[in-house]
């Protein structure tokens, strides 16, 4: 693994725009994991996240010469990643669904406690994936950019091209729906006493 580059984004962007391939490589590596996480949460599966991340990375490379620095570099790339992931999501939804197997894999038997914990983790991930899948795209993008990409409201507003007030509202409503969906899922699948049930957003 290449050594950690201590140059800040602004410096790296400037050098990358000047043709420094190493600087560009460092930028991509620095942001790759979080871009992938954003794509993973918006696109909904690891396979689609991989594709969306690759599209986003290529787009970043091709467009960086024209990045004008009016927004933070991270805001700019998360916007690209969000678009790529939403495109991937829509593409997947147009594909016929042959089966409903999660691509992270779900073992059928737990051989030891560690395996059981891994199983739980997979189940939890599947729960959040299913909850996200039930969320409108607008809400999903706003919540993911806040809670996964860690952008502030103004940056999300810029990335999504919507007013800050709309960002707040979408995040709040998105979180409310996710909390309700996860609570319902917990109530349906394991100890109902351990978690809150019946989110208000689910109440007719």
Partner 1 sequence: MNDDQRLLASGALDGTLTTDERARAVADPDVVAEIARYQAVRDALRDTPAPDPDQRDAVIAAALAALDSAPAAAVPSIPVAPVVPLARRRHRRWYGPVLAAAAAVVVIAGGVVVLNRGGADDSDSASLVAEDEAPAATASPLSASVPAPASAADRAAGAIPEAPAAPAEADDAASSATAPPTGGAGATDATSADVVVLDSPAALAAFAADAADHPPLDGITACGQGRLVGTARYRVDGRPVPVEVVRLDGGDIAAIALDSCTVVARMPP
* Chain centroid, CA 37 distance in Å: 5
Q: Following DSSP, what letter does each residue of 134-149 receive, concatenated? A: TS-HHHHHHHHHHHTS
- For partner 1, the binding residues in 145-174 under the rule CB under 8 A are 146-148, 153, 160-162, 168-169, 171-173
Cβ contact 137:160 at 8 Å: no
Closest of 204, 140, 137 to residue 171, by C-alpha: 140
Question: Minimum distance from CB of 33 to partner 1 (Å)?
Answer: 6
Q: At which residue do the structure tokens 């790296």 appear?
A: 12
For 13, other C-beta atoms within 10 Å of its C-beta total 19
Sign for the CA dihedral angle at 71, 75, 81, 85 comes to negative
Question: Minimum distance from CB of 34 to partner 1 (Å)?
Answer: 9
- Per-residue binder mask for partner 1 (CB under 8 A), 23-42, x = binder: -xx--xx--xx--xx--xx-
Phi, psi of 138 (to 5 degrees): -60, -45
- Per-residue binder mask for partner 1 (CB under 8 A), 56-95, x = binder: xxxxxxxx--x---------x--xx--xx--x--xx--x-
Question: Minimum distance from CB of 60 to partner 1 (Å)?
Answer: 7
Q: How far apart are CA 89 and CA 43, in angstroms?
A: 5
- For partner 1, the binding residues in 119-148 under the rule CB under 8 A are 121, 124-125, 127-128, 143-144, 146-148
Of 5-13, 20-28, 108-116, the window that binds partner 1 (rule: CB under 8 A) is 20-28
Question: Minimum distance from CB of 99 to partner 1 (Å)?
Answer: 20
Please return the burial class of 79, using the count of CB atoms within 10 Å of its CB with bins 0-12, 13-18 and 19+.
buried
Q: How far apart are CA 21 and CA 4, in angstroms?
A: 16
When asked if residue 176 is in the footprint of partner 1 (CB under 8 A), the reply is yes
Among 15, 179, 187, 197, binds partner 1 (CB under 8 A): 179
Applying CB under 8 A, the residues found at the interface with partner 1 are: 1, 21, 24-25, 28-29, 32-33, 36-37, 40-41, 46, 50, 53-63, 66, 76, 79-80, 83-84, 87, 90-91, 94, 104, 121, 124-125, 127-128, 143-144, 146-148, 153, 160-162, 168-169, 171-173, 175-176, 178-179, 182-183, 196, 199-201
């Amino acid at each position: 693994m290449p050594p950690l580059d201590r140059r800040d984004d602004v410096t790296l962007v400037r050098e990358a725009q000047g043709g420094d391939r190493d600087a560009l490589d460092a930028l991509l590596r620095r942001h790759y994991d979080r871009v992938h996480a954003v794509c993973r949460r918006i696109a909904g599966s690891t396979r689609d996240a991989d594709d969306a991340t690759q599209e986003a990375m290529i787009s970043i490379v091709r467009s960086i010469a024209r990045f004008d620095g009016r927004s933070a570099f991270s805001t700019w790339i998360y916007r690209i990643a969000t678009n790529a992931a939403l495109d991937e999501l829509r593409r997947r939804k147009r594909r016929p669904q042959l089966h409903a197997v999660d691509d992270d894999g779900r073992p059928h038997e737990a051989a030891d406690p560690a395996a059981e914990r891994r199983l739980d983790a997979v189940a939890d991930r599947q729960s959040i994936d299913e909850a996200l899948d039930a969320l409108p795209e607008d809400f999903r993008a706003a919540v993911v950019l806040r809670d996964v990409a860690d952008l502030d409201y103004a940056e999300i507003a810029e990335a999504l091209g919507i007013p800050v007030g709309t960002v707040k509202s979408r995040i709040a409503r998105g979180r409310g729906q996710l909390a309700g969906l996860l609570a319902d899922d917990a109530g349906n699948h394991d100890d109902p006493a351990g978690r809150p049930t019946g989110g208000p957003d689910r109440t007719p």
